[in-house]
């Protein structure tokens, strides 16, 4: 049985369907890139994986467990923005990754010292020790995202969800972040889902690239159908993908990927 | 001032001043004003202190006020004022009311709610003198808006209030309320008058004549006991938020001078000087005469017989019977 | 050059800043002179020198009867009421505002209610407050609380709602409970806003304080102003008004400073 | 599940919204019952039925003396004062706020002055206003204007300054003069903000109106409340308080609607 | 004499020098791309060209005229954001390009009709006629920038200044905008200055690519020197640039272009 199981998931907001019949199996340690037109429901799918929302129909299971009701430590997340706490220093942000799960939300005395020492090790690994005492607002965008990823990993999640994590960064910084992320992954063997707007990035980082799109389309009521996974590319062979259409009748559909 | 033909008087609600409203609405004022070829506008204000302030600032030619407030605000502020009409004195309208079985002498240590620096305050001071207490012996004097006096008396932390009618009669409806002292114990000391600007009056005798004539015509009507008189009283009663009975009981505690003769006798009486000196002392004691006042005698008061109390070089308050005498003589 | 691009030089700037103050002062002096020429005892617009004398007397000389320097006692009494009122309001606004912003249940329960309550004119219910709380300190503090709390609650609830949801979700993925989120994520980010909320509320708070003191009190800045109105002591009133303005200014400044000191991260940026 | 993630259902939502209103109503009924049981003539907490009767009478029956239905006359008088006060304040705030926001010279001249003036507690200067403006309508309108204008000016000046400078520069490159920039670029973008500024100012405006009417008036909602306070006519006071609250609510709502109607572009988005 | 003359321009904010000894000659009709590290003063240089600011020293002349004191119709501009008026419809935005120069700032009656007709022609040319009545906020980022450029051109400026005009757009839209801009330029023969973060974009669109950087550097006080033009590439030969160092001693400087 696969690690992440998505079974016949639908998501509807009010009367408006966003996702339809989404099915997916992901093995532990896979890196899944998700692409698709703007507004097609990529972030929605990530919210479902995160258990921030419950699907209207269907279920998502991790490791065969009951579907989660709300976000928790087994699912880490990094958004494009607002993924670190602006009122904590860089070091405190890392410590929070451990301390937030304890009742008072903070460590005291010796436990605090120890946590800070561990945080400093983490900062070393993600290359932020030189700004340990600074507030996030004084960091560049790239450093902030590095911190956000580091913080998420401190909680040792079973899957890591990234929603356009590098969307706000300039191209150079972006390349550095790719290296950073690949390096971290090599070390941890995490299962990762990453939404991106950048196809190149998706193929470069992912083992698989999922394309979300609508399979049905009513020109008069563009909102009447939801999107689903229309392509599932194997991207392991370093940029030479071969494609596996998930819905056979889609092979000739002209507007897939045109967005 | 100079000669002019349009005048404005300000008045506020009080048992003894209700006739002013009637004089305006009934047309009596217009009748007398027409006779002298002038106009007199009688305006009701609902804040007493503000009305005196406005008069002092020059917005009105005359205002209804007590002898005490006239001495402190306009006279103290250099606005020479003459008591054109001495209408009445409070004869029970102002009272000290306590909760339960408490005597005047027991006030020591208690806090008292009243409108500070008003005639209530003066009444309290006079009452305390009689039992050899002073304000310092009280727990506190808490300035309380007259509008809240009734509600205040209902709360537990208020033990003593000093106030005036119609609040007094409403508060006394409470079975727990006892009156321990009222203005009938110091008759003639709280005097309600119409003060007018002395200069304006001097330059415009017609103004004095018209107002005096209108006032005493109304007084005669009120005292007549005729149906017309009762109708007038009813109208005044309604304007003060009560009925004829209620208003009559308020009048019972008000020593109205229904005839010009009575008013003239009172004004020319010797006790007025004593009262004014006592008032001046009270005001000085409270610092109300202003820090420019080196002594209670800072402001001079002139009396009908030409005598003065206080600083004869700074006479700013005058009791003058010229016009009332005309009413007595029927020469208006 | 366009007017919008024209900038005054240094000297001109200084002059311009002073201009309206000077204009007001001048108008006053002239008006006062005219009135005093007509009536040297006029109380309405006392000469500036006279106000200065009065101010000096008020700040330094004791009351004839008790020997206490009333101005300081008035100030103390008013500031105490203000502190209690604003303190209670802040605390309840913080708790309720955060609850409404964070908990859907609390939001449902209180949102409309507070919307309605904030429309009730506090001065109109003043008589009711006096009846419920008596004429003592409680009623005055209560008026301040009733007057400023609804607005503060709404402000803080909105600010709580404005915290990017991403941050809350991130905290959840770190295993934070509702309480930890409230205390460690929301509270620290709301506190700077609480201070600006207090700064905004101080204006109305002064207002309610003065209104309450005008109605029943034996001490206090508002009490004194409305008391001496009884004999038109404008010199005293003006001294008190200037003094209150100064106090308000200092408080505002102190809060701004405090905010910058306590929350260095708000000012920090690349 | 965390409290922050728990959402009430539809029925529960409706119940929760009503809860605090019901609680207040119930508390009142019980307290009123207790007092009325002890003293049937108690005026402090009249029975709801009694308030309803009074309300009906106030809304429909004329005054005995003049035959006028006082409530409507009071409402009219108060609303007129409010309209004038808020109108004058809005206009001056718009002109001065835009000037301060756009013109460096105006900014220099008025910024500090308005900062100081906005700290002056308007109630403390009420006696002064009465003396300057007399006891007529002018003083009441003036109190409202004095009370709310400084804050509105600051608000609008800040909003003007917040307009991205890029937009002003763009207008300049299209050859716009200062006046054209003010009228065609800044004014339309500031108007929606003026409306929310008015909405914020209405609370204080009511306050100042009531305070002014309490001291000197012969008609008006605040006047009536403070007048019948003398007789402890709580039934009248409560009716008026609820009526004022309703009026305030309707005004707020109307302004919000107006803003959405007049400025469709503010709501528009992708 | 060249069309745009920049002579020995310095710009200082407070005590902090931003630009130093900037000299430049640009011919009429040239397309000049400007690149450089973040914060090095590119936008500042554009503001000087725009006459939004006056240089601390030196002068900028167009066509030999007196240095301008403030922005005007001869200099058009498009910023990354806020370059259109949100309270006007698309058509009104275009009309504003004409009407703002007249005293009341708007047209009435027949003049208004005529201006609207002209605006509709412009909208046709920039491909926005189908949204003529919409408000800018309802347009995509690309359409907004298209409108901003169209509006700027309506005023017939002698030079057009673009400050990262496509910085907020996604890569696909960006390519479309390149085509749009090149097409417009072909039609008008405008003199254009464009700041960009994207070297590729700079070389693709520009005839010349200017690099701004500091020539002197004090590691302890990084703010003590300003930037200037360090390289002036000829980019006409379609991506095969040859370089013209403007300061001869710079040829070996290692950190140029490393930002
Ligand atoms: N809570 C919500 N309620 C109603 N509609 C929503 C909600 N969240 C998202 N939507 C709508 O669902 C659709 C999908 O949104 P989603 O954010 O998942 O798109 P996306 O693929 O992530 O787009 P983008 O690439 O722009 O981030 C959008 O049309 C959005 O407007
Ligand atoms: N008005 C100003 N006052 C003071 N300093 C300023 C001002 N405008 C810009 N600066 C500073 O001047 C430097 C250059 O700014 P500028 O905006 O020109 O950089 P830039 O090259 O456009 O950077 P970016 O690529 O980030 O847009 C920056 O350090 C900035 O902080
Ligand atoms: Mg998304
Ligand atoms: Mg820039």
- Is 90 exceeded by the pLDDT of residue D23? yes
Residue A130 is assigned to a structural domain of this protein: no
pLDDT at A238 over 70: no
Q: Which of B122, B84, B8, B10 is nearest to B318 (CA)?
A: B84
d(Cα D61, Cα C133) in Å, to the nearest integer?
A: 34
CATH number at residue E2: 3.40.50
Query: Using the beta-carbon criterion (under 8 Å), do B57 and D44 form an inter-chain contact?
Result: no
Instruction: Tell me what pLDDT residue A252 has.
Output: 42
D42 part of a folded domain: no
- For β-strands A227-234 and A208-214, DSSP reports them as antiparallel
- Determine contact: B146 vs chain D, CB below 8 A: yes
ipTM of the complex: 0.82
E192 contact D CB<8A: no
Smallest CA–CA distance, residue B58 to chain D, in Å, is: 10
pLDDT (0 to 100) of residue E256: 36
Q: Look at ligand 2, atom 2, and give the residue with the nearest C-alpha.
A: E13
Q: Using alpha carbons, list the distances in angstroms from residue D15 to C98, C105, D6, D226.
A: 21, 11, 16, 36
Is A157 part of any domain?
no
In C176-205, the residues whose Cβ lies within 8 Å of chain D are 177-178, 181, 203-204
pLDDT tens by residue, D71-82: 999 999 999 999
The per-residue pLDDT for range B137-165, each reduced to its tens digit, is: 888 888 888 877 887 888 888 899 999 88
Better pLDDT: B193 or C268: B193
* Whether pLDDT at D57 is above 80: yes
Q: Is A116 among the domain residues?
A: no
pLDDT at A259: 34
Compute CA distances A13 → A44, B131, E122, whole Å.
10, 83, 40
How does residue D65 score in pLDDT terms, banded at 50, 70 and 90?
Answer: low
What is the domain range of residue E56?
1-64+196-259
Largest interatomic CA distance in chain D: 79
Question: Over the stretch C78-100, which tens digit does the pLDDT of each residue have?
Answer: 999 999 999 999 999 999 999 99
Write out pLDDT tens, residues E56-68: 999 999 998 999 9
Give the structural domain span for C111: 70-262
Contacts of E198 in chain A (CB under 8 A): 171
pLDDT of residue A246: 55
For the ranges A50-54, A175-179, D105-109, which has the lowest average pLDDT? A175-179
Contact E162, E78 (CB under 8 A): yes
Positive or negative: CA dihedral E247, E251, E255, E259: positive
Mean pLDDT of A105-119: 92
Render pLDDT for D32-50 as a digit per residue (tens, 0 to 9): 999 889 888 777 788 999 9
Beta bridge partners of E33: E194, E209
pLDDT at B279 over 70: yes
**How far apart, in whole angstroms, are the C-alpha atoms of residue D179 and residue D189?**
15
Helix or strand (DSSP H, E) at B70: helix B67-70
Residues of chain C with Cβ-Cβ distance to D221 below 8 Å are: 124
How many domains does the structure of chain D reveal? 1
* Ligand 1 atom closest to A36 (CA): 21
- Pull the structure tokens for residue B164: 């005036």
CA E51 to ligand 1 centroid distance, Å:
43
When pLDDT is cut at 50, 70 and 90, the band that residue A250 belongs to is: very low
Residue D117 inside a domain? The answer is: yes
Confidence of residue B6 (pLDDT cuts 50, 70, 90): very high
Query: Where residue B218 falls among pLDDT bands split at 50, 70, 90?
Result: very high
Atom of ligand 1 nearest to the CA of A212: 21
Asked, for residue D98, whether it belongs to a domain, the answer is yes
d(CA A151, CA D58): 65
Model confidence band, residue D105 (pLDDT cutoffs 50, 70, 90): very high
Distance A40 CA to ligand 1 centre (A): 7
In percent, how much of chain E has pLDDT > 90?
51
CATH of the domain at D83: 1.10.3720.10
Question: Number of folded domains in chain A?
Answer: 1
**Distance of CA A24 to CAs A9, A32, A62, A195, Å?**
9, 11, 12, 15
Model pTM score: 0.84
Tokens of E243: 């370089």
- Chains E and B touch, using 3 or more CB pairs below 8 Å: no
Per the model's pLDDT, the better-predicted residue between B41 and C44 turns out to be: B41
Give the angle E123-E126-E127 at the CA atoms, nearest 5°. 80
- DSSP letter for each residue of B162-192: EEETTHHHHHHTSTTEEEEEEGGGSTTSSEE
Q: How confident is the model at residue A198 (pLDDT cuts 50, 70, 90)?
A: confident
Q: Are E46 and E216 in contact (CB under 8 A)?
A: no
DSSP-derived letter for residue D185 is I
Token pair of B157, please?
Answer: 């932390």
Measured from CB, residues less than 6 Å from any atom of ligand 1 are A 13, 18, 36, 38-44
Residues ≥6 apart with Cβ < 8 Å to C60: C69
Statement: residue B193 has pLDDT above 70: yes
Q: Which chains touch D (3 or more CB pairs under 8 A)?
A: A, B, C, E
Distance CA B2, CA B37 (A): 16
Spatial contact of B54 and D134, defined as CB atoms under 8 Å apart: yes
DSSP string, chain C: --GGG----HHHHHHHHHHHHHHHHHHHHHHHHHHHHH-TT--SS--HHHHHHHHHHHHHPPPTTT---HHHHHHHHHHHHHHHHHHHHHHHHHHHHHHHHH-HHHHHHHHHHHHHHTTS-GGGGHHHHHHHH-SSHHHHHHHHHHHHHHHHHHHHHHHHHHS-HHHHHHHHHTT--HHHIIIIIIHHHHHHHHHHHHHHHHHHHHHHHHHHHHHEESSSHHHHHHHHGGGT-HHHHHHHHHHHHHHHHHHHHHHHHHHHHH-HHHH---
Q: Does C135 touch chain B (CB under 8 A)?
A: yes
Give the Å distance between the CA of E75 and the centre of ligand 2: 21
- Counting residues of chain B whose pLDDT is more than 90, the rounded percentage is 52
Nearest CA to ligand 1 atom 16: A41
Predicted confidence (pLDDT) per residue in D117-173, tens digit: 988 888 888 877 877 787 778 888 999 999 999 999 999 999 999 999 999 999 999
Query: Could you tell me the sign of the dihedral formed by the alpha carbons of E236, E239, E244, E250, in that order?
Result: positive
pLDDT beyond 80 at C63: no
Nearest to A170 among E170, E171, E197 (CB): E197
Instruction: For residue range C152-180, list pLDDT tens digits in order.
Output: 999 999 999 999 999 999 999 999 999 99
Least confident of A51-65, A180-194, A242-256, D46-60: A242-256
- Here the tokens at position C125 are 């219910």
Is B167 in Cβ contact with D230 (below 8 Å)?
A: yes
Q: Which pLDDT band, with edges at 50, 70 and 90, does D70 fall under?
A: confident
* Touching partners of E (3+ C-beta pairs < 8 Å): A, C, D
- The CA-atom distances, in angstroms, between A230 and each of A39, A210, A211, A227, A247 are 15, 8, 6, 8, 6
Taking CA–CA distances from C229, the nearest residue in chain D reads: D127
Look up residue A109 and give its DSSP letter. H
CA of E43 to the centre of ligand 4 (A): 4
Whole-number Å distance between alpha carbons of D54 and D235: 6
Cβ contacts of D113 on chain C, cutoff 8 Å: 17, 20-21
Residue C101 pLDDT greater than 90, yes or no: yes
CA angle C235, C238, C242 (to 5 degrees): 140
Higher-confidence residue of D244 and B241: namely D244
pLDDT at A253: 42
Comparing CB atoms, the residue among E73, E104, E139 nearest residue D175 is E73
In chain E, which stretches have pLDDT less than 50? 239, 241, 248-259
Q: What is the mean pLDDT of residues D188-213?
A: 91
B104, with CB counted inside 10 A (0-12, 13-18, 19+), is middle
Please state the rounded mean pLDDT for residues A111-128.
Answer: 91
- Range from B198-202, D181-185, E216-220 carrying the lowest mean pLDDT: E216-220
- For residue E13, give the ligand nearest its CA: 2
| Residue C125: exposure state from Cβ atoms within 10 A (0-12, 13-18, ≥19) | buried
- Which ligand 2 atom minimizes the distance to the CA of E38? 25
So what's the pLDDT on residue A257?
A: 36
* Cβ–ligand 2 contact at E227 (below 6 Å): no
Q: How are the residues of chain D apportioned to helix, strand and coil, as percentages rounded to the nearest 5?
A: 80, 0, 20
Chain C hits for A81, CB-CB cut-off 8 Å, are: 164, 166
Whether there are 3 or more C-beta pairs closer than 8 Å between A and E is: yes
E47 CA distance to ligand 4 middle (Å): 10
Cβ atoms of B147 and D222 within 8 Å: the answer is: no
> What does the block give as tokens for B105?
């002498």
**Taking residues C37-61, what's their average pLDDT?**
88
In the reported structure, the alpha carbon of residue A167 is separated from the centroid of ligand 3 by a whole-number distance in angstroms of 10
Q: Is E41 in the pocket of ligand 2 (CB under 6 A)?
A: yes
* Residue E190 region by backbone torsions, left for phi larger than 0, else alpha for psi between -120 and 50, else beta: beta
* Partner residue opposite B156 with nearest CB, options C41, C57, C134: C134
Atom of ligand 1 nearest to the CA of A197: 25
Mean model confidence pLDDT for chain C: 89
* φ, ψ of residue E227 in degrees (nearest 5): -100, 165
């Amino acid at each position: 049985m696969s690690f992440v199981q998505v079974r016949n998931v639908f998501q509807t907001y009010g009367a408006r369907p966003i996702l339809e019949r989404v099915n997916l199996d992901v093995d532990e340690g896979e890196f899944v890139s998700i692409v698709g037109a703007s507004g097609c429901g990529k972030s929605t799918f990530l919210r479902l994986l995160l258990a921030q929302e419950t699907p209207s129909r269907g279920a998502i299971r991790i490791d065969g467990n009951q579907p989660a009701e709300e976000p928790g430590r087994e699912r880490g997340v990094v958004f494009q923005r607002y993924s670190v706490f602006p009122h904590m220093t860089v070091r405190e942000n890392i410590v929070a990754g451990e301390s937030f799960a304890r009742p008072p939300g903070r460590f005291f005395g010796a436990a605090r010292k120890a946590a800070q020492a561990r945080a400093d090790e983490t900062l070393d690994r993600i290359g932020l020790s030189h700004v340990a005492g600074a507030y996030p607002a004084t960091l560049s965008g790239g450093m902030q995202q590095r911190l956000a990823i580091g913080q998420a990993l401190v909680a040792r999640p079973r899957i890591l969800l990234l929603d356009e994590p590098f969307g706000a960064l300039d191209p150079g910084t972006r390349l550095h972040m790719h290296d950073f992320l690949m390096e971290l992954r090599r070390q941890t063997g995490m299962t990762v889902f990453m939404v991106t707007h950048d196809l190149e990035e998706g193929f470069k980082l992912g083992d698989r690239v999922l394309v979300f799109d609508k399979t049905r389309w009513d020109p008069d009521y563009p909102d009447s159908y939801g999107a689903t996974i229309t392509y599932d590319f194997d991207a392991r062979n370093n940029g030479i993908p071969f494609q596996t259409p998930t819905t056979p009748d889609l092979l000739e559909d002209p507007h897939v990927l045109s967005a | 001032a100079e000669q002019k033909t349009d005048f404005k008087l300000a008045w506020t609600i009080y048992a003894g001043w209700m006739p002013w409203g009637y004089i305006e609405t009934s047309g009596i004022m217009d009748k007398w004003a027409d006779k002298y070829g002038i106009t007199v506008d009688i305006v009701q204000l609902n804040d007493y202190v503000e009305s005196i302030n406005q008069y002092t600032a020059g917005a009105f030619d005359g205002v209804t006020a007590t002898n005490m407030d006239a001495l402190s605000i306009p006279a103290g502020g250099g606005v020479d004022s003459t008591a054109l009409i001495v209408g009445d004195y409070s004869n029970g309208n102002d009272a000290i009311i306590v909760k339960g079985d408490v005597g005047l002498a027991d006030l020591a240590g208690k806090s008292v709610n009243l409108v500070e620096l008003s005639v209530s305050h003066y009444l309290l001071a006079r009452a305390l003198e009689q039992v050899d207490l002073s304000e310092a012996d009280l727990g506190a004097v808490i300035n309380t808006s007259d509008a809240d006096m009734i509600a205040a008396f209902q709360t537990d932390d208020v033990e003593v209030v000093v106030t005036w009618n119609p609040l007094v009669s409403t508060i006394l409806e409470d079975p727990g309320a006892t009156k321990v002292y009222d203005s009938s114990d110091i008759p003639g000391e709280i005097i309600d008058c119409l003060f007018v600007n002395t200069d304006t009056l001097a330059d415009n005798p017609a103004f004095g004549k018209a107002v005096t004539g209108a006032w005493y015509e109304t007084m005669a009507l009120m005292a007549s006991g005729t149906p017309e008189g009762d109708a007038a009283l009813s109208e005044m009663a309604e304007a003060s938020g009560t009925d004829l009975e209620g208003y009559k009981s308020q009048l019972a505690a008000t020593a109205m001078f229904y005839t010009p003769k009575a008013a003239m006798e009172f004004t020319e009486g010797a006790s007025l000087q004593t009262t004014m000196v006592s008032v001046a002392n009270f005001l000085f004691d409270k610092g109300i005469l202003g820090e420019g006042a080196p002594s209670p005698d800072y402001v001079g008061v002139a009396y009908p017989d030409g005598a003065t109390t206080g600083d004869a070089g700074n006479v700013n308050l005058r009791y003058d019977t010229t016009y009332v005498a005309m009413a007595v003589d029927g020469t208006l | 050059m366009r007017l919008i691009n024209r900038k005054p030089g240094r000297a001109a700037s200084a002059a311009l800043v002073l201009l309206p103050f000077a204009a007001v002062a001048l108008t006053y002096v002239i008006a006062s002179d005219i009135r005093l020429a007509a009536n040297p005892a006029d109380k309405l617009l006392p000469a500036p020198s006279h106000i200065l004398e009065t101010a000096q007397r008020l700040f330094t000389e004791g009351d004839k009867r008790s020997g206490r320097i009333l101005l300081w006692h008035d100030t103390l009494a008013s500031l105490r009421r203000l502190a209690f009122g604003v303190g209670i309001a802040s605390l309840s606004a913080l708790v309720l505002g955060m609850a409404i912003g964070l908990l859907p249940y609390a939001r449902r329960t209180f949102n409309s209610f507070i919307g309605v309550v904030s429309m009730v004119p506090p001065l109109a219910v003043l008589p009711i407050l006096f009846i419920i709380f008596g004429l003592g300190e409680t009623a005055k503090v209560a008026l301040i609380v009733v007057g400023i709390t609804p607005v503060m609650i709404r402000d803080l609830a909105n600010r709580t709602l404005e915290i990017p949801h991403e941050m809350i979700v991130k905290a959840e993925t770190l295993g934070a409970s509702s309480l930890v989120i409230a205390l460690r994520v929301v509270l620290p980010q709301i506190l700077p806003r609480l201070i600006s909320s207090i700064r905004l509320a101080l204006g109305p708070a002064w207002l309610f304080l003065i209104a309450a003191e005008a109605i029943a009190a034996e001490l206090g800045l508002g009490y004194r102003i409305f008391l001496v109105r009884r004999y038109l002591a404008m010199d005293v009133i003006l001294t008190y008004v200037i003094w209150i303005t100064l106090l308000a200014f200092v408080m505002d400044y102190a809060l701004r400073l405090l905010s910058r000191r306590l929350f260095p991260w708000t000012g920090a940026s690349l």
